[in-house]
Amino acid sequence: MGWEDLKIAVEYDGDHHRTDRGQFARDITRLEELAHLGWRVIRVAVDTPRQETVDRVHRAWAAASTVR
């Protein structure tokens, strides 16, 4: 999920992002491309606490709002 106008994305990394070497390599390239385009990517995994994710998204929104 993401907010294109703020260039904030939230990505869920399932186990295959860690265990599939091809997927891992594609993830590296994609994340570098998004960073080059000015996107903030918030990555979460199965054990990421919900409140931590919410807090990270709030911080990204606040930071993006001050830049605009």
How do the domains of the chain map onto residue ranges? 2-67
pLDDT value of position 16: 74
DSSP collapsed to 3 states, the chain: CEECCCCEEEEECCCHHHHCHHHHHHHHHHHHHHHHCCCEEEEECCCCCHHHHHHHHHHHHHHHHHHC
pLDDT tens sequence across 21-59: 998 999 999 999 999 999 999 999 999 999 999 999 999
Q: Which two tokens stand for residue 53?
A: 């994710």
Whole-model pTM: value is: 0.81
Report the DSSP beta bridge partners of residue 12: 44
